[in-house]
Amino acid sequence: MGRFDGLKGVILGVANDHSIAWAIAKEILAEGGQIGFSHLPDRPDDERQRNRRRVAMLTDPEPNAKFLVPMDAGSDEQIAAVMERAREEFGTIDFLVHSIAYAPMEDLKGETTNCSREGFRVAMETSAYSLLAVGRLARGILSADSAILTLTYFGGEKVVPGYNIMGVCKATLDACVKYMAYDLGPAGVRVNAVSAGPLRTLAGRGAGVDEMLGLYQHMSPMGRNITQGEVGKAGSWLLSRESLGITGEILHVDAGYNIMGSPGRLLNLVKQPEA
């Protein structure tokens, strides 16, 4: 018997096999869960449908991957269409993963103060508001004791140079988690987030993850970086019936980096000035 036997859900935002959302999906599929997936829409001129193809390579071999449809997180109509597809396939759903974030590169790479008004709007709408939209439009198909999970990062709690405007978006996303947990709690719906350490995902590369890996390895209490599999296990646990008493939480999966108030053992690598 698997932890997800008889449970159905939707995972939004898998980009490729390095995605945290896919790491979570693999755990759920291995434990008997059934999942419907969305992918980033392809451009009309992309005859190869690259976005769909990358995700289909993962989901097609999985008998419990029940559908794969495009979804633009900036469109309520498209979000609603995914939820309707889930209703047709499953009736109700027991879990929902929101793995969606985006900022225009020119606004992400520049100083936060210099973020354009339009760039701020796009980044915030895609990376934070979309969680509210997804929760609202999924409300009618969420079962009792269901769970919503989103993916955040420590850059929403403390300044992480290079994360810039996305840190502002993640701070907003973290607040959305807590207020949604309050709103949906009476219906038995839990809302949580996983805050993962740096990983070589598509989003991570855009935020300069390679520069962070060495820092985390030397500063974290465990003296190492994390793996996709570790995040997958933690995320799937928050979606399972084993965490029924937990909502509004941000679970850090970062080898303990977030608890540090000083560089810790990293200081041992810095040559001390001679007296």
What radius of gyration do the chain's Cα atoms show?
A: 19
Which domain range does residue 217 map to?
Answer: 8-257
User: Which tens digit of pLDDT belongs to each residue from 35-82?
Assistant: 999 999 998 888 789 999 999 999 999 999 999 999 999 999 999 999
In a domain, 133, yes or no: yes
| Residue 81 CB coordination number (10 Å) | 16
List all residues 6 or more positions away from 168 whose beta carbon is below 8 Å from its beta carbon: 112, 120, 123, 124, 156
Give start and end residues of each alpha helix (H) in 69-201. Answer: 76-90, 105-109, 117-124, 130-138, 165-184
Instruction: Please give the span between the terminal C-alpha atoms of the chain, in angstroms, as a whole number.
Output: 65
> Measured between alpha carbons, how far is residue 154 from residues 171, 173, 186, 258 in Å?
9, 12, 29, 7
How far apart (Å, rounded) are the C-alpha atoms in residues 140 and 129? 19
In a domain, 87, yes or no: yes
In a domain, 127, yes or no: yes
In a domain, 269, yes or no: no
- CB distance 45 to 32 below 8 Å: no
Pick the catalytic residue: 102, 163, 216, 257? 163
Q: Map residue 139 onto helix, strand or coil.
A: helix
Range 123-141 average pLDDT: 98
CATH number at residue 176: 3.40.50.720
Tokens 């979606």 correspond to 239
How far apart (Å, rounded) are the C-alpha atoms in residues 169 and 149? 16
Structure confidence at residue 176 as a pLDDT band (50, 70, 90):
very high
Q: What pLDDT score was predicted for residue 269? A: 76
Structure tokens at 161: 């140079």
Give pTM, 2 decimals: 0.94
Q: How many structural domains is the chain composed of?
A: 1
In a domain, 128, yes or no: yes
Catalytic annotation on 102? no
CA angle 123, 247, 121 (to 5 degrees): 10
Catalytic annotation on 153? yes
Pick the catalytic residue: 102, 129, 153, 182? 153
List all residues 6 or more positions away from 46 whose beta carbon is below 8 Å from its beta carbon: none
In a domain, 267, yes or no: no
In a domain, 26, yes or no: yes
Structure confidence at residue 207 as a pLDDT band (50, 70, 90):
low
Q: What pLDDT score was predicted for residue 211? A: 76
